[in-house]
A and B are shown apart, each in its own frame.
Chain A
Amino acid sequence: GGIITQTPKFLIGQEGQKLTLKCQQNFNHDTMYWYRQDSGKGLRLIYYSITENDLQKGDLSEGYDASREKKSSFSLTVTSAQKNEMAVFLCASSTDRGNSGNTLYFGEGSRLIVV
């Protein structure tokens, strides 16, 4: 089996600061995702990437940048952290975009705290 590793587990930053979350997978999956998890709102897609150097915006991409420089890694940057952005960020990977029933595998999440 494989694993998805998200770092850091907790990211504390100041308002207005640029903050980066990292994600590594060893499944050799093509597609990777970043989701934001807020209580009572489900999982909202921020960015996804179907291959190295590809980026696709999700519904919540404003205020975020992403980078997929290697197949195994996908990073997410909060361009200017705001207090209302405190949430858990989940990274996931899949053999495809999920439209044909393939399973998404998730990391344990990174919690963003803005002070």
Chain B
Amino acid sequence: GDSVTQTEGLVTLTEGLPVMLNCTYQSTYSPFLFWYVQHLNEAPKLLLKSFTDNKRPEHQGFHATLHKSSSSFHLQKSSAQLSDSALYYCALSSNYQLIWGSGTKLIIKP
């Protein structure tokens, strides 16, 4: 069946360093891929989404390129900020549902 894999449960970085959170997926069809972010005690909200191969949507300094050849949708940012500390979920649309990865907790230290 369809699935999403986020290999890192926890990523800790120093402010100013680049961020990369991994997301790979398996899907029978060509799905939409999403990144959602959840700050502490807040609701998850959409950060980015993509359907088109090799297109790079951006939002709040984050970007992610959907590579269908490698089934990946890694999230990147060139310079981490303290306010980026949050839980990040990768998800794909499948058969009228969203399939979610297990989430990556990102902690940014001064």
Quick one: CB contact mask for A37-56 with B, threshold 8 Å, 1 for yes? 00011111100100000000
Number of A-B contacts (CB under 8 A): 58
Number of A residues whose C-beta is below 8 Å from B?
22
How far in angstroms is the closest Cβ of chain A from B81?
Answer: 23
Report the bound CA distance from A75 to B46 in whole Å. 23
Whether A98 pairs with B96 at a CB distance below 8 angstroms is: yes
Please give, as numbers and ranges, the residues of chain B lying within 8 Å of A13 by CB-CB distance: none
Please give, as numbers and ranges, the residues of chain B lying within 8 Å of A44 by CB-CB distance: 100
| B9: interface (CB < 8 Å) | yes
Report the bound CA distance from A72 to B43 in whole Å. 18
| A4: interface (CB < 8 Å) | yes
Report the bound CA distance from A105 to B91 in whole Å. 14
Please give, as numbers and ranges, the residues of chain B lying within 8 Å of A34 by CB-CB distance: none
B17-37 contacts to A (CB < 8 Å): 31-32, 36
Please give, as numbers and ranges, the residues of chain B lying within 8 Å of A105 by CB-CB distance: 43, 45
How far in angstroms is the closest Cβ of chain A from B103?
Answer: 6
Quick one: CB contact mask for B27-68 with A, threshold 8 Å, 1 for yes? 000011000100001111110010100000000000000000
Please give, as numbers and ranges, the residues of chain B lying within 8 Å of A98 by CB-CB distance: 93, 96-98
Report the bound CA distance from A106 to B97 in whole Å. 15
Whether B51 pairs with A42 at a CB distance below 8 angstroms is: no
